[in-house]
Amino acid sequence: MFTTEIQHFHQLLHTQVLELMDPLKKANAGIEIANDSLSKLKEIVEQEDFETVPEEINFFKNIKPCPMSYLIYFSEMRSCESRKPKAGKRFQIHFFEKELRKINKFFYRNNDFVQYMEQGHSYMDHQLFTRNHRKNFPFTPTINYYQYPEFSSSHDMLWAKIQAMYRLIHYIREAIESLKPGTVETFSTHKHPILLWSGSKTALVELIYALFAAGDLNHGTAEISTITHAFEDFFNIKLDNNYKTYSEIKARKSTRAKYLEALIVALEAKMNKDDE
């Protein structure tokens, strides 16, 4: 049930929010669907609750922080857009640089918890991500965006904010780059051999969604659009209607992840040949 709601949330996010160009409209639309998703998750928890502690930990560690992180991200984005200077590029750049310093201070204050999460530890999950240990935890959360006692552990919101701040860093860097091109260091400054994608575009979309689902880029905060743009730049290719292509991949009758399975077969064959 949780999985269905999260899938629906991502579908709305990619079809109704992330493609919007105006930051304020994007933020407002994102806040609306994130709030709606959290409300639905809260209803499910109230009606079904959790049968086991691992199930409860998984919810507060991996499921709830998904829409929660977007709620925080879009709220912070809207705040930036409403507070930034209305005129003068120099003043606007100074404003965004100040926001980056605030984010750095946030990460510094919460460094112990950030390290715990990013190193993939789980030995304190029963304290951090269950409701029974809300008053007994080793890292002190300092934020409160959306708090209901029976729908919150001590640290699910802090974990969500960490993910949101990675997204906010990307938004701020893009804002600075648009004001003064060349200000922000990008991967384009590093020369690499030209590579052209010679497979099908559908295969590349399949690979992009797999990387997104695995959460191995920017600690799981990289958007589909960000990953897509990176692949487009690197392989000098243009990808259109990604979500439509993804829907067609999901609708396949037999093997849906055909390209990924072909990669496995190819790699296994190479390793077997190397062993001979």
Q: What is the pLDDT of residue 194?
A: 58
Amino acid identity for residue 106 in this structure: F
Residues 6+ away with beta carbon under 8 Å from 163 = 65, 69, 73, 219, 220, 221
Q: What is the pLDDT of residue 136?
A: 52
* DSSP H/E element including 27: helix 23-48
Q: What is the pLDDT of residue 2?
A: 85
Q: What is the pLDDT of residue 186?
A: 47
Q: What is the pLDDT of residue 92?
A: 92
In angstroms, how far is CA 179 from the centroid of its own chain?
Answer: 25
Q: What is the pLDDT of residue 30?
A: 95
Joined together, the tokens standing for residue 58 give: 């998984």
pLDDT in tens, the chain (276 residues): 788 898 899 889 988 998 888 999 999 999 999 999 999 999 999 898 899 999 999 999 999 999 999 999 999 999 999 999 988 899 999 999 999 999 999 998 898 998 888 878 899 999 999 987 655 544 444 455 555 667 888 899 999 999 999 899 889 988 898 888 765 554 444 445 557 687 888 999 999 999 998 888 877 778 888 888 888 877 767 788 888 899 999 999 888 999 999 999 999 999 998 888
Please work out, in degrees rounded to the nearest 5, the angle formed at the alpha carbon of residue 53 by the alpha carbons of 66 and 111: 50
Question: At residue 237, what are phi and psi to the nearest 5 degrees?
Answer: -135, 155
- pTM beyond cutoff 0.85: no
Q: What is the pLDDT of residue 142?
A: 46
Give the count of alpha carbons within 13 A of 210, CB side only: 14
